[in-house]
Amino acid sequence: MMEKGNSPFKFQVDTWAKFGNGYSGMVVAPTGFGKTFSVFLALISDFLTNPDDFKNGLKMIWITPLRSLSKDIAKAMQEAIEEIGLDWTVGVRNGDTDPKVRQQQVKNMPEILVVTPESLHLLLGQKDNKRYFKNMQCIAVDEWHELLGSKRGVMVELGISQLVHYVPKIKIWGITATIGNLEEAMDVLIPYDIKKTKITAKEHKKIDILSVFPDEVELLPWAGHLGQKLADKVVPIILESKSTIVFTNTRSQSEMWYQLLLNAYPDFAGQIAIHHSSIDAHLRIWIEENLSSGKLKAVVSTSSLDLGIDFKPVDTVIQIGSAKGVARFLQRAGRSGHSPFETSKIFCVPTHSLELIEVAALKEAVKQKVIEPREPQVLCFDVLVQFLMTLAVGDGFYPDEVYERIKKIYTFQEIRDEEWKEMIDFLTIGGSTLKSYEEYHKIEVMEDGLHKVTSRKIAMLHRMNMGAIVSDAMLKVKFISGGYIGMVEEYFISRLKKEEKFILAGRVLEVAMIKDMTVFVRASKGKAQAPSYLGGRLPLSSNLGQFLREKLSIALNPKASEKELKFLHALLANQEERSHIPKDDEFLVEMIKNREGYHLFMYPFEGRLVHEVMAALIAYRISKLAPISFSMAMNDYGFELFSDKEIPLNEDNLDKILTRDNLMTDVISSINAAEMARRKFRDIAVISGMVVQNFPGQQRSNKALQSSAGLIFKVLEDHDPNHFLVRQAYTEVFNMQLQEQRLVEAFKRIEKSKIVLKFANAFTPLSFPIKVDSLRQTLTSEDLDARIQKLILQAKKVK
């Protein structure tokens, strides 16, 4: 945010001018340059210039994706208002807000209200809610790049549409970091035919990207084993910095690295902390405050600190393992050197040596300013159904009027009349299939056509279940002696027996008992497993995959100047000697025969999710040549198909196996699309209110939700297979899980590439990490280490 006494940046002045001239728009600027003040002070400036245009009451809604940011944003705004001398207040309204404060807000709204998408919808679901918003001047959406592409972003679009209905002249402003589709991002946020502009800061943040190298490069790399060795190299970086954020990609990895750093340097006790979304909120706030004040030397974190307030003492960021994408990497790098014109410094710590190529790829992507787009979601019927229920529990709605507004929203531009009618039927009578069940008759139609919820029970349950995030049921973790530690996901804890140990918030805990969605624990010592949370494995972005292929292509070129490629020379030379290093216009296929059996490896460099689909597809196509079954493994670089039978693949039939012809038909045949859609339907059923997750004093377990949603899915599949929510489940499977668009693009590229087929008798540097990942799923850590050493020995013997 803007330092006191400093001159404003040009993009801030431009924003104030455009705002004053009646424009809506989007501000694009690097972290630490005062994006928040550009829009917030625009409102203040407009008020000071044209006070007669403003009436008493709420003037601005400020939407933020994280409720943990709300207090800090509100505090900064309030300080600025007091400094200017205005008699305005800034309020916060979200799940953490005290009920008394909420009641006071309803009676007397502050001038500026900071909300999350969910809390905005809760306001829209109140009786006579228009009175809160009637004098508003502006809606501001912070961190729009984070919301865009998610169902919470769709909630924002719908919320804005209702506020535009209430106040047609309202201004809409978004604040975003740089992404690859800024024009589209603005169209999604502001789809209306009004004056709008995009204001981009000319200022740029300088970033120092530094690799942390192991002492030696291994013959065969594998994920995870470098942690202990590199922890000793991370300690001096932390000691030499004022304050450091150590970013990991998963909560389990953050728990592991917290322990590694304490073991490597015991004096860190009390000076470092761990921060992720499963930790007690009070502890998280304490950590953020102490990071801001410079009292903490380092915090090991997940994406929970990707966004947020300026931690000014933080001058160093450390990224453990792959950042998976350019945008995420830049976001994290920007958490250091937060003041304008300070250099952001980020150290990249590989979990295996090949990830150093990724660092070289990231440097090139940052240099070329190639950043991933955030693709907006379309036709999210489940979120729309929830929104219609929100209107119905408030003052009710007239379908024809609302439909005209909905069609203007980017996400629902393609909605068809029959889909709208189907939705209304679903909410009033349960649709054609569920009309016999009274609980699906939620909305009543009044004589004048007003659609309204009259049941207090239905209204209460709807308000309790509002939102577009469906997570696995979370269990509280408490000490038997008293004291709350955090949350852990049900599926993980269900695998633990009494007296088994796990790590949470940096503590080793022993399970005493599980009762009423609470895990009671005792403090313990010794080895323990960190919870491996659902959704922990992020896929590599297609942009980063492209740069990775390019860097690998020139890896052994003597003219290559990158330190990372020079360091990896021996490993990459080993890959070239045993097999081949694919050039940018080549596609490498390796077939390896050893004592275990027959291994097929392919390297698209398209990320884990795409490789999961590709592996199933290739396995299906090979099985059509001859009866054969496979086990599969994959990482971000490639995938493995393993069989005890010889794989009937050669240069003559390889082109047929890798063809783009009948691609999606074969994909559907190769995977259980119905099962995937059934699982996806759980979230859709919860968001749309078809299945209720939260009851007063009770949260239903994941198993119960899946069971209920599964039964409804089967009924609809049997009796109404074209139901709009069933169609949505299949669409989401294709777009998100099967990555249809990215898969098609990958096969287009493969078809144009020269296919290079290589045979070997031992694992190569590219294949080895994939093999280790597959072993990790079935072996204990001790057995895994022994097996890895055995495979490395075998590889050394085979030349």
> Into how many domains does the chain fold?
5
Residues 195 and 216 in one domain: no
Examine the domain organization and report whether 46 and 183 are in the same domain.
Answer: yes
Does residue 540 lie within any of the structural domains? no
Q: Is residue 83 part of a domain?
A: yes
**Residue 309 confidence (pLDDT):** 57
Residue 635 lies in domain? 579-671+739-797
Residue 536: the pLDDT is 47
Annotate 310-338 with b (16+ C-beta within 10 A) or e (fewer).
Answer: bbbbbbbbbbbbbbbbbbbbbbbbbbbbb
Assess if residue 574 is contained within a domain.
no
655-682: pLDDT as tens digits = 999 999 999 999 988 887 888 888 889 8
Out of 315, 346, 368, a domain closes at 368
- Per the listing, tokens 């805990």 go with 509
Domain CATH for 161: 3.40.50.300
Ranges of the chain with pLDDT below 70? 1-6, 222-227, 304, 306-312, 471-474, 490-492, 494-495, 497, 516-517, 527-538, 702, 776-782, 784, 795-799
Answer whether residue 542 is part of any domain. no
386 and 493 inside one domain: no
Q: Name the nearest CA neighbour of 720 among 430, 385, 433, 441.
A: 433
Domain limit, last residue, from 702, 737, 772: 737
Q: What is the pLDDT of residue 745?
A: 94
Q: Look at residue 568 and tell me if it is in a domain.
A: no
**Residue 612: closest CA among 549, 679, 537, 556:** 537
pTM of the model as a whole: 0.86
Residue 485: which of 508, 513, 504, 510 has the closest Cα? 504
Do 225 and 288 have their domain in common? yes
Position 3 scores a pLDDT of 45
**Residue 342 shares a structural domain with residue 478:** no
Report residue 271 as tokens.
């000076």
Do 347 and 440 belong together in one domain?
no
Widest distance between CA atoms in the chain: 85
Residue 628 shares a structural domain with residue 641 = yes
**Does 343 lie in the same domain as 446?**
no
pLDDT of res. 481 = 82
Strand partners, 518: 476, 515
- Both 625 and 774 in one domain: the answer is yes
Query: Is there a single domain that holds both residue 22 and residue 107?
Result: yes
Which of 151, 169, 200 delimits the end of a domain? 200
Find the radius of gyration of the CA atoms of the chain.
Answer: 28
Nearest to 79 by CA among 49, 50, 55, 112: 112
Query: Does any domain span residue 534?
Result: no
Per-residue pLDDT at 673 = 81
- Measured CA to CA, the distance from residue 46 to residue 157 in angstroms comes to 25
Query: Looking at residue 311, what is its pLDDT?
Result: 61
Regarding whether 733 and 599 lie in a shared domain, the answer is no
648/765 same-domain check:
yes
Please tell me what DSSP assigns to residue 646: P
Residue 653 is assigned to a structural domain of this protein: yes
Which residue is listed with tokens 């795409």?
Answer: 610
Which residues neighbour 488 within 8 Å (Cβ) at sequence distance 6 or greater? 278, 474, 475, 477, 502, 504, 519, 531
**Does the residue 562 lie in any domain?**
no
Instruction: Return the pLDDT at 782.
Output: 61
